[in-house]
Amino acid sequence: WTLLFTAAIAAEVSALSFPADHPPVAWKPAGPNDMRSPCPMLNALANHGHLPHDGKDISKEQTINAFGSVLNIDKEFAEALFANGMTANPKENATTFSLDDLNRHNVLEHDASLSRQDFYFGDDHRFNREVFDETRSYWTGSFIDIQSAARAHVARVNTSNTTNPTFALSDAAMTTALGESGFCIVVLGDKTAGTVQKNWVEYLFENERLPYAIGWTKAQNSISYSDFNDMTSRIKSASESSELAEQSCKTLDDYGLQLYL
């Protein structure tokens, strides 16, 4: 059994392929001094040790390496995502960002998340069971598709809009939010079919761990910025379809809310 055990570990380690500048560690949840973010994927990558386990000072190189080797995201897209993350670091001339920079409300973090409360209610960055259960109730069937992804977002926007007196979501932030479901489909699922196995997505959110144990493997073809943009536009169109538009509270313009992005 020792051999089997060793082989299993070797397979896990090689599947994970740790970035050269970061020592491999087994999956381990955050300890009391580790930073985490409102992003289930970055938290998972830190828990696996593909990004620094303490969540601090994440460099461009670490992002490119982790995104490429673990998720098959191409270099150009990884660079763009890193640049986006950098906008949340308030320090001038910084070359890294830390996971808790991402918790700053209305920089990248926004209202009506799939699995986090709105800032108004307190903690906007840790997983919240009640919020996620609302989201999941719209993911009917064993696959999330473009329609059910859109439906879940529209529902979350409606809930926030009716319960949070400070609710704000610009058109740009709504696109970002829809893009987060786009991520789930292109990174965990099938970008051509526009579907992803629901239990893989739930596993990522609930455990902040990549769903290897239930059969997920990284995409065979590399994932580009345009794959992501296409998927986001498909989800956006679905969210604006007549059926959902009726259900939707529309955008912030309809409410005269503040534009922040």
Q: Which of residues 95-134 bind Mg ion (CB under 5 A)?
A: 109, 113, 116
Complete DSSP assignment for 236-259: HHHHTSHHHHHHS---HHHHTPPP
For residue 175, the partner it binds in ligand HEM, Mg ion, none, with Cβ less than 5 to 8 A by kind, is none
Nearest to 94 by CA among 56, 66, 50, 65: 56
Classify 57 in phi/psi space as left (phi over 0), alpha (psi -120 to 50) or beta: left
Residue 108 touches which of Mg ion, ligand HEM, none (Cβ within 5-8 Å per kind):
ligand HEM
Among 46, 66, 70, 81, binds ligand HEM (CB under 6 A): 81
Q: Please, where are the H alpha helices in 105-170?
A: 129-137, 146-163
Nearer to Mg ion, 219 or 261 (CB): 261
**The entry of Mg ion, ligand HEM, none that residue 63 binds, CB within 5 to 8 Å by partner kind:** ligand HEM
Q: How many CA atoms lie within 13 A of 171 on its CB side?
A: 6
Alpha-carbon span 30 to 55, nearest angstrom: 9
Question: How far apart are alpha carbons 34 and 11 in whole angstroms?
Answer: 27
Q: Which stretch in 47-55, 107-115, 164-172, 239-247 sits in contact with ligand HEM by CB under 6 A?
A: 107-115
In whole angstroms, the minimum distance from the beta carbon of 63 to ligand HEM comes to 6
Residue 47 in the binding site for ligand HEM (CB under 6 A) = no
Q: Can you tell me the distance from the alpha carbon of 153 to that of 173, in angstroms, rounded to the nearest whole number?
A: 12
| Dihedrals phi, psi of 195, to nearest 5 degrees | -135, 160
Stretch of 8-16, 37-45, 136-144, 242-250 contacting ligand HEM, by CB under 6 A: 37-45
Question: Which of 159, 135, 163 is closest to 149 using CA atoms?
Answer: 135
Residue 173: name its binding partner from ligand HEM, Mg ion, none (Cβ under 5 to 8 Å by kind).
Answer: none
Stretch that binds ligand HEM, among 13-21, 48-56, 104-112, 248-256 (CB under 6 A): 104-112
Contacting residue, 35, 64, 114, 154, with ligand HEM by CB under 6 A:
114
Residues that bind Mg ion (CB under 5 A): 109, 113, 116
Residues that bind ligand HEM (CB under 6 A): 38-42, 63, 71, 81-82, 84-85, 102, 108-110, 113-116, 180, 183-184, 187
